[in-house]
Structure 1
Amino acid sequence: MTTELPPQPSELPAATSLPPMPAAPPSRPRRPIGTFVAGVAIGAGLMGGTWAITANTGPAEPNTFTLKGEFTLLEEAVSIDGDCAGTGGYDDIREGASVTVYGAKGDVVATGSLGDSKSAGYGTCTYKIAVGDVPKGEKFYKVEVSHRGTLQLTAKEAENGELASSLG
């Protein structure tokens, strides 16, 4: 083994051309705040437009109503413990007796029954009537309590709860 160094060049070698540096990876473009603001504005515009359209239409009116009124039995009525009932030839008149509503063509459009009763004096009783789901659109309605014949009401009277009928 020798301790001698190999001869060294007196000059540095000429610079050799190095391969080009790889390009930096593309950076994500920054989204300007204007894009965000525009997105919010478009979304708000769409929501506002939808609200304006639906707010003007409103909920649809119901196609039915509750026919309300009173029926009074003018004779042969008795009151027992606060409930009224007909007697004799009127024994079919009591709470729960049938109430039938007919349309202008004579077809049955709704049914119900006599409701709560109260004594209106000696031999007289008054019953509440509330027949639900009566369809709108008829020119007139006829109402029958039990089998006692019909009473005709205009559509306006029926819808406004103006039924007032009596028997006896």
Structure 2
Amino acid sequence: MNIKRLSSVAAISAIALGSAIPALAETSTPSKVTFSCEVSNGIPTTILQAEDTQRTIFNWESDRLSQSKNPLKLCNDVTAKLNNYSANQSHDLSKLTFKADVQSQLPTICATDDPAACNTVLFTLSPTEQPEIVANSVLNDILDKSLQSDNQTNDGRRGLQSVSHSIDIWELILGRKVIKTF
């Protein structure tokens, strides 16, 4: 094969490969993730939406929520915070963790991509003598049961344990893991 013909084949191959890479990236990158608050059977529910998929995240009916917390208001407030969280490019949605925590002696539920931290406080509950236990119970009550398979416990103060549940948003939506290459 002569050099002129070889360079033509190489040039055509480079052009074809260059145009194929963006097409591959587009098909492997999920669309924007959004959250919404919907009322289903009288129960406010936080829903994850992306692509053609909807998944329940939180069901806002729990005897453990304090009387001062309005389930519909909680649903709307937490939904707005989750939308801000997912829009923040520094958070890794493949490591989204919902965590029971204590902040300023109050039972707190957080969203984080680092189980040792609390990146975003989703809501706090009324003061109680056992804030760790209340936070754990509330998180386990409101988080959709299908998302509780990756349950982690972390030792906290005084030997009490904090519960967290990690989910991979992309795996939930697409049914497969998405690997970031950029």
TM, length-normalised to structure 1: 0.31
Which of these two proteins has the greater Rg computed from alpha carbons?
A: 1
Structure scoring higher RCO (CA < 8 A, sep ≥ 6) equals: 1
Relative to its length, the structure with more strand (as a share) is 1
